[in-house]
Amino acid sequence: MSGARLQNWTFVKKDSLPALLVGPVSLMFAIGLSLVAHAPIEAGVIAVVIGGFMVSAFGGAYVNISGPGVHSAAAWMMGALILGGGSLDRGYFMMLAAGAISGALIMAVGLTRQVHRFDIIPIAVRRGIVALLGVWIIIGQIPLLFGAEPFYDYHSIGEIISKYPYFLNRAVDGITDYWISGLGLTALVFMIIYSSYQNRLIRMLPAPIWLLFGGIALAGYLRINEGAGYVASLHEQVHFHEGVMEWFHRANFSMIGTWNFWSVVLGFTLVSLNESVTNLRATDRLDVQHRRSDINTELTALGLASVFSCLLGGLNVTATIAQSSTNVQLGATSRFSNLNNVLVVLLLMLLASPIVEELLVPAVAAMMVYIGYRMAAPSHLRSVAEIGWEDFVGWAVAFGLGWEFGLLYGILGGVLTMILLQLLTSGKFGHILRFLFRPNTLLYQEDDNSYLLSIKHYGSFLNLGRVREKIDTVPSSAEMIVDCSLAEFVDQNVLIQLEYYEELFMRRGGRFEVVGVDDLPVKVHHPFASWMPFGEAPSDTGPLSNRQEALAEWAEESGYSYHPGVLYTGQPYYRFQYFKTVRIEGQRNRLVGEVAGLNFIMADVDYFQGEFIARGSTHSTMMYIQTEVQLPQFVLDRERLLDRVASFAGFSDINFDEHPTFSSKFKLQGSNEKAIREFFSKDLIELHLANPEYHLEARGNQVLIFEKERLAGANEMKGMVSFAEKLAVFLKNAEE
């Protein structure tokens, strides 16, 4: 067997196990998004299968799982309502035509490598449209949550809302079976608990799989206790057409000559593009090998898959985030995982479709209602408002126009509003217009591995595409400086993307630094604020909690500096293996000082693993120490955390025959076993036996220490410093 074939076979085997769990998750999303789009249940499955085969063969991403998209399904529902004149049944066939043309447009964007042009849509506008789509999902799925029939014909969204008291009364009075309405509400509560608590038992499986098992198990229970006829009479189970040919439907192009059709196509295309690009960039951040997807190539494959899927009766194909996030967390490393996912879905449909058809719809509806809430949560609006009032106005305009007239009008109206507000509030009306169409981003290569990007005059969503295009040509392992000193202002759209690249470069061994931003006037104390105030800015001098007061007093006594405010950076923690598949949101309550002559930073680190409904947030107190000598790279921990350090999975546990208690209590792993054994002297082993609660990791001349995956109390933090003082003796004397 040749080397290339052997490597491919290795990837296939490695990605097969994750597919066993990702496949059922994809199937649940296929069913749920078909319900959201008010399309036949098979439509979502068709998108998963065609997308998986075509994108894994022709795409440019590595661990992305393709399938129907959440945003796109809600946009499909809105488009079907418009094109069908109030009839979602009739609108479905017209949306097949719109989806096919939209796929061709996305394919054209990918082939011409013009995806950066769409960065002109400001983040506030995108969030407004996403919130709108989330509200539509909630409104459309609540009837199914309570066991009612889905609406297929209505002329306004208010018509559905007006029926909510009726659904609730039927559920309370028992007209709708208590088992059905109870399942929907219980499943919704479970989704909330799953995302809020880091319980190992609950998180043993992805949330959609728990709902799949729960919905099928309840149907089985009712079948045993109430009889098969009772279950069938509920009309609340998932049903696939029996004949394979009945799965496929022909697109209706009869409205192709109307403006309504093209406004739907263009709005749908922008939503699908934004969803795929956003999800691909988020998945790149999760990739343990820190590779960068070829987004244009991936879009070409997604567009091609959408054309075929829609022409056969399926939903359009996008890059997904919940499925991709689960895929990465389970250890997938190549695009073969997308293919394996399809094979598992096909096996489920071929061998277990009678079991899948036992699934009760309210369990799926609960998942979609929760997803809709996550898209439209008030916290998103608050985060937009904290950045600046002009962003809030842009959000509101996009939401309002999109609700009243359609997605295209919401997006265009939001963009135009943001342009006008930026011209007025910046005080640089003539300045922006003067340099709007002139090149103002210049990239220089200063030496073999060092680059400088100069942003002149302004940096905003108007030229973000040019900024991103220049940065994407630089290897992530290089050293890059972005100089904003010649810019009059820089807005949050550019700042957020620069923060994304800073993390990307740091994870891949490069260096990314932004200079000149601190000299710009800003009135809102927010890392991504542009220039205008919205409320009071938080301050380090504000009221402190009891814990913060204790830390401030301790810092003053010990000669440390204490900073209670939030620092929005992952440095220096991203260098460690523990954070290889984790994203850091920020640090709080930072203590900076020296311990036994070595510099240290201790902070409450806020981070999360996974994305969307697979996202799990954690807050831990961690200590970083910089040593004077190079240390062997290793990870020392008890069994509890080692599964989080995925990159060391290939190394065996290093045991010490003369210290059996240490070897049984700890797992010690690393690449250079000889150097590690020399470093772990008898005295160091005894130190760890006396302090078994600490996780210890070394990388070069840097050390990470923490106790538990939670915030530490003031006394626990003092104990960590005490342990570090004893450890410092070994760190200062170590030799690689």
Write out the H or E segment, with its range, that includes residue 349: helix 336-351
**Strands of the 479-483 sheet, one edge to the other:** 441-447, 450-455, 479-483, 511-515
pLDDT of residue 13: 63
Same structural domain, 317 and 407 = no
Establish if 525 belongs to a structural domain.
no
Considering the domain boundaries, does residue 453 fall inside one? yes
Q: What CATH number does residue 461 fall under?
A: 3.30.750.24
CA atoms within 13 A on the CB side of 501: 27
Instruction: Check residue 536 and give its pLDDT.
Output: 39
Give residue 156's pLDDT: 66
> Is residue 522 one of the residues assigned to a domain?
no
Q: Compute how many other C-beta atoms are within 10 angstroms of the C-beta atom of residue 437.
A: 9
Residue 351 lies in a domain: yes
- C-alpha to C-alpha distances, 431 to 184, 422, 426, 427, 436, nearest whole angstrom: 56, 11, 10, 9, 8
Q: Is residue 262 part of a domain?
A: yes
Nearest to 171 by CA among 148, 202, 198, 141: 148
Residue 556 is encoded by which pair of tokens? 């003053």
Predicted confidence at residue 501, as pLDDT, reads 87
Cut 0.85: pTM above it: no
Identify whether residues 415 and 555 lie together within a single domain.
Answer: no
Helix axes 70-83, 407-425, angle to 10 degrees: 110
Note whether 103 and 186 are same-domain residues. Answer: yes
The reply to whether 349 and 470 lie within a common domain is: no
- Domain C-terminal end among 493, 515, 537: 515
Question: Across the strands, what pairs with 452?
Answer: 444, 481
Residues 354 and 460 in one domain: no
> What's the confidence (pLDDT) of residue 716?
83
Closest CA to 515 of 445, 447, 453: 453
Provide the total of helices (H) and of strands (E) in the chain, helices listed first.
28, 14
Other beta carbons within 10 Å of 353: 12
Q: For residue 495, what pLDDT is reported?
A: 84
pLDDT of residue 489: 77
**Do 399 and 464 belong together in one domain?**
no
**Which residues of the chain fall short of a pLDDT of 50?**
1, 3-4, 6, 522-539, 641-650, 735-736
- Using CA atoms, how far residue 732 sits from 630, 631, 703, in Å, is 10, 10, 12
Domain containing residue 256: 14-379
Whether residue 368 is found in the same domain as residue 419 = no
What is the per-residue DSSP string for 676-736?
A: HHHHS-HHHHHHHHHSTT-EEEEEEEEEEEESSSSPPPHHHHHHHHHHHHHHHHHHHH---
The whole-number pLDDT of residue 206 equals: 87
Do 344 and 275 lie in one domain? The reply is yes
Give the separation between CA 470 and CA 455, rounded to whole angstroms: 11
Q: How many domains does the chain have?
A: 4
Three-state DSSP at 352 gives coil
Instruction: Please report whether residue 233 resides in a domain.
Output: yes
292-323: pLDDT as tens digits: 889 999 999 999 999 999 999 999 999 999 88
Cβ atoms of 115 and 385 closer than 8 Å: no
- The pLDDT value given to residue 677: 85
In a domain, 86, yes or no: yes
Q: What is the pLDDT of residue 348?
A: 93
Answer yes or no: is 551 within a domain.
yes
DSSP state of 39: -
Same domain, 354 and 464: no
Whether residue 482 sits in one domain with residue 412: no
Specify whether 375 is located in the same domain as 401. no
561 and 443: one domain? no
